[in-house]
Structure 1
Amino acid sequence: MELQGFGFTVLSFCMMVLLVLYKCSNTVKYYVKYLIYTACVMIAAMLFIPYFCFRPKNVENLLIYAEVLKHLTSVLGIKWTLRGAEHLNKNKSFVIVANHQTCLDIMGMFNIWNVIKLMTAIAKKELLYAGTFGPAAYLAGLVFIDRNSSKGKEAMNMAMEKLKQDNIKLWVFPEGTRRSTGEIHQFKKGAFHTAIQYQIPIVPVVYSSYNHFLDHKQKVFGEGEVIINALPEISTKGLTVKDIDELMEHTKQRMDIVFRKISAEAAANLKDN
Structure 2
Amino acid sequence: MPTLDKCSWPFALLVTSMLILIAPKICSNSKIRYYGCYVCYVFYVSLIPMLLSPYFLLRARDITNLLLVGKILKNLNKFIGIKWTVRNEHILSKNRGAVITANHQSIFDILGMFNMWETMGMCTAIAKKELLYVPPFGPAAWLAGLVYIDRRNPKSALQTLKSNTRLIRQFKAKLWVFPEGTRNKTGEQLLTFKKGAFRLAIDTKGPIIPVVFSPYYFINGRDRTFERGEIIISVLEEIPTDGLKPEDTDDLMRRTHDLMSKEYEKLKKEVEGKCRREISFERT
Q: Same fold (TM over 0.5)?
A: yes
| Runs of at least 5 residues in structure 1 that lack an aligned partner in the other structure | 1-14
Give the Cα–Cα distance (whole angstroms) in 2 for the partners of residues 162 and 120 of structure 1. Answer: 9
Matched, 1:44 2:41: no
Q: Describe the SS at the equivalent of 2:110.
A: helix
Say whether residues 1:65 and 2:69 are aligned partners. Answer: yes
2:168/2:206 contact within 8 Å kept = no
Gaps of at least 5 residues in structure 2 are: 1-18, 279-284
Contact kept, 8 Å, 2:84 with 2:230, in 1: the verdict is: yes
Offset at 1:272? 4.2
3-state SS of paired residue (2:75): helix
Residues 75-101 of structure 1 show CA distances to partners (whole Å, capped at 9, x for unaligned) of: 111100011112111111010000000
Q: What is the CA distance between 1:263 and its match in structure 2?
A: 2.4
2:261 maps to a residue whose letter is D
Partners of 1:225 and 1:270 within 8 A in 2: no
* 1:200 aligned partner, one-letter code: G
Aligned to 2:281: none
Deviations 1:154-212 (A, max 9, x none): 111111123320100000000000013222110000000111112111010000011x2
Within a 5 Å distance, the mapping from 1:144-223 to structure 2 comes to: 144-149=148-153, 150-182=155-187, 183-210=189-216, 212-223=217-228
Would you say the 8 A contact 1:224–1:270 is kept in 2? no
Per the TM alignment, residue 130 of structure 1 is displaced from its structure 2 partner at its CA by 1.8
Offset, 1:23: 2.5
Equivalent-residue separation in structure 1 for 2:78 and 2:87 (angstroms): 20
TM-score, normalised via structure 1 length: 0.89
Find the aligned partners of 2:62 and 2:272 in 1 and give their Cα distance.
38
Q: Is structure 2 residue 236 aligned with structure 1 residue 231?
A: yes
Greater shift in the superposed pair: 168-177 or 136-145: 136-145
Question: Aligned equivalents of 1:94 and 1:174: distance in 2?
Answer: 14
1:95 alignment partner, SS class: strand
Q: TM-score, structure 2 length as denominator? A: 0.85
Whether 2:143 is the aligned partner of 1:139: answer yes
Deviation at 1:270, TM superposition (A): 4.3
Aligned mates of 2:272, 2:51 — CA distance in 1: 37
Match of 1:79 among 54, 67, 83: 83
Q: Which amino acid in structure 2 is aligned with residue 259 of structure 1?
A: Y
CA distance in 2, matches of 1:116, 1:189: 23
What root-mean-square deviation, in Å, do the aligned CA atoms of Structure 1 and Structure 2 show? Answer: 1.7
Percent identical among aligned pairs is: 43
